[in-house]
Structure 1
Amino acid sequence: MSRGPDAEALLRRALEASAEAAGCPAALVASDWTRWASATFTGARHLLTLAAPPSAALDAWIAGLPDAELRLRRHLVADLVVDHVRRAGDRVTISLEVLTVEEGR
């Protein structure tokens, strides 16, 4: 029986919805993740790349991402870092590093 979408799919949807709500639609262009665990938590480290057209709304959204409240079912966003922003003509590429932690059962 499937438990539903994994953390990567939930994170992608949350980021795209957040960007859309901020008036700067962004699309995921690449992602990778690896399992992560500490003595008390399990989760995943995500590397994501999104792309969007340049705008003031996009700049504001990127600036607010590290403090954004992204809701994921059965997971928490423990840390989000904007690793790199590249601007080339009519496209902005945003590289993110995100740590998600599974909520207790």
Structure 2
Amino acid sequence: MKSSGADVYGDADKKAVQATIRQRTGALQACYNKALQTNPGLAGKISYTITISVMGTVTEVRINEDTLQDGGVQTCTVAKIKGWRFPTTPGAEQASDVTFSVVFSGGS
């Protein structure tokens, strides 16, 4: 599994957001690994856009593209992402939208 660099639009600190996503993608791998038990050939990419409030909480998760086509992985990863917390950015006045992709392939 690998994640792409995150595109950050808004007041959030881009480096801090990218580092947080990198640290947390292991939780998304766990969702994928669970699905692999029943579908060993499962592989694909999911692209997400998330909205991060000025307080660092995720207020919305949208899936832009899903070539994995597995509802269980989709539901699980969205639930995990909603629980993520990001560092607050001093002086931030508006929420930020962050787009990133995760490629799931071949098990761990």
TM-score, structure 1 as length reference: 0.36
Instruction: From the two aligned structures, give the one with the greater strand fraction.
Output: 1
TM-score, structure 2 as length reference: 0.35
Quick one: higher RCO (CA 8 Å, sep 6+), 1 or 2? 2
Instruction: From the two aligned structures, give the one with the greater helix fraction.
Output: 2
